[in-house]
Structure 1
Amino acid sequence: MAITTYLEAINQALHEEMERDPNVFVMGQDIGIYGGVFKVTKGLLEKFGDLRVIDTPISESMIAGAAAGAATQGMRPVPEIQFSDFIHPAFDQIHNQISTLYWRSAGHWRCPVTIRCPWGGEVGGGPFHSQSVESFFVHTPGLVVVAPSTARDAKGLLKSAIRSDDPVIYFEHKKLYRSVREDLPENEEILTPLGKARVARQGRHVTVISYGLMFQKAMRAAEDAAQHGIEAEVIDMRTLLPIDRETIFASVRKTGKCMIVQEAPRTLGFGDAVAAILAEELFWELDAPVRRITGYDTPYPFAPTMESFYSPSVDTITAVIQDLAEM
């Protein structure tokens, strides 16, 4: 076993998959010589060379388009969009080309692209380096969208994504890069199944659903609530599309109460989709309204005081757990 950070787990996954499959290659801005702005791709250029570790121009549309073309020719590209805030120029390639290729070719063509996308706030990045943009892609049929919350799943989801024949958007949270770590076995292959959520904490009073940085906060909030005799069940979604309804339904049937915690703005976020599904399919088993804890419907702030106000806190999550449990 070795203590491994979230960032190191991603780097290990890239090394292992590039060693395993010569068709896997990485591309993006500053990922080669510089090793990535966060050093996630450090060491790849030295080990695999510049034909498989490709520094690109500052053109997200080109990065996504070139990856799509390579994927149709038998390669398994892993492009990096340096910050999720800058993925929008690539949206046409992702939404209209990559996500639809399998369907518009009647299953004859696949597009196994895994797009790595650093996302999220609480890093002092301001409005152009802190956004949560997952809702755009969860609303795009044909994609798989993942957002690991732990070092183990950061590694396991990336390895599974690269091996998948479906295009995957892999959201890696910048705040977790060096703040989350755990013991990972050195000689065990870690593969996390796509499309499967994980019950990270058992409970009986309230179901708390989250992902990414907010999952870490939800776990701390659940421990705080336990000091008051409230046992919250915490689900780490891991995959946002497709939604693992089975795991969610099993938990909510047990607790009768549910809350979703997301960093993204409130309106039309991932939590809205989960709340709608529960209202449509589990309404008569709910003992209270589904609650959402979210960011605000504003651009992400830069000032540290405003950033801490914008992002859901452990105390806020704990308070809502207690409020729901008492209903």
Structure 2
Amino acid sequence: MQLISLCSGSLAALGAVLFAYGNGLSKWGGLAVLLLGTAVLLLSLSLQRRQEKEVTRLHRQIMDFLAGKNKTPKFSVNDDLFAVLENSVVELESRLLLERENTRKSSKRNADFITDVSHQLKTPLAALKLYCEMDQARNLGAHSQKQLALIERMEHLIYSLLRLEKLRADVYELQFAKHDLSRLLEQVWEELKVLYPEKKFTIIGTAELRCDAYWLHEAVKNVIKNACEHTTAAGHIQVLLETSETVVTLSIEDDGGGIAETELPKLFQRFYRTAQTKASGGAGIGLAITKTIVEKHHGTIAAENTAHGLRIVMCFPILDGVLAAG
């Protein structure tokens, strides 16, 4: 379209020169060329404006869909190329809505099942815990403390599993707002440094992100706590914040020696435990929760070994105004 505008403009300019300086037929020929070039130029500019208007409208339609404002996409009945493009977008939106609804129903069934099982387990666990506490109070069993710790671990596992499935089923409504990630990381470390007073914790860089502060706090805390548990007493955890035009990157790196390369793809799977996690008694739920939270922020998470330890990289797209719909 720009090439047509350029050519028609040049044609009109040539016609103007011939009309101004020509004589006889060349003068009138120049006038004809001038009028033709002007007409083509005006037509191309009109088409260009219409094209820009249609692209802007289509972009707004896509953004409204992402923000959850357009629940029922409508097909265009116009007979032009833009209608073909628009209908392709609407078809994609319709398929995404159907897939989202099917996923939501499937996740809800899983969450309901986990909830039912959890409730069935909570009552006998509560009774067992009460008996163990009574035995411990009366010093009737030397092994009661170990039994109590096991019951509490089972309670924590059930609670974590229930939260994970509710997250996946969109039971929790995330509240998005712009937050300072440096401040969020400092708050996380304030909670953890009491447990790991000798660890060194460093934040490099700054970044702001539109996110749910409560859930992102938990996601980051799971990773940093995991790093603390798999480094030496004086280990170092470093967080790097980077911002580009489209992505905020949050990298958490430790100096704990890393894990086997074969374990990296499985690290965020539910119930998966590395050799180090098994030794520390972890349940393999924390990083699965972190992955789900990151995905609810439309982000990605990956793990890689470095020369000194393990690095967890979270990438979040900058989508101001879109994430309100989750």
Same fold (TM over 0.5): no
Interval containing the TM-score (normalised by the shorter chain): under 0.3
TM-score, scaled to structure 1: 0.21
Higher helix share: 2
TM-score, scaled to structure 2: 0.21
Structure number with larger C-alpha Rg: 2
- Which structure would you say has the larger RCO, counting Cα contacts within 8 Å and 6 or more residues apart? 1
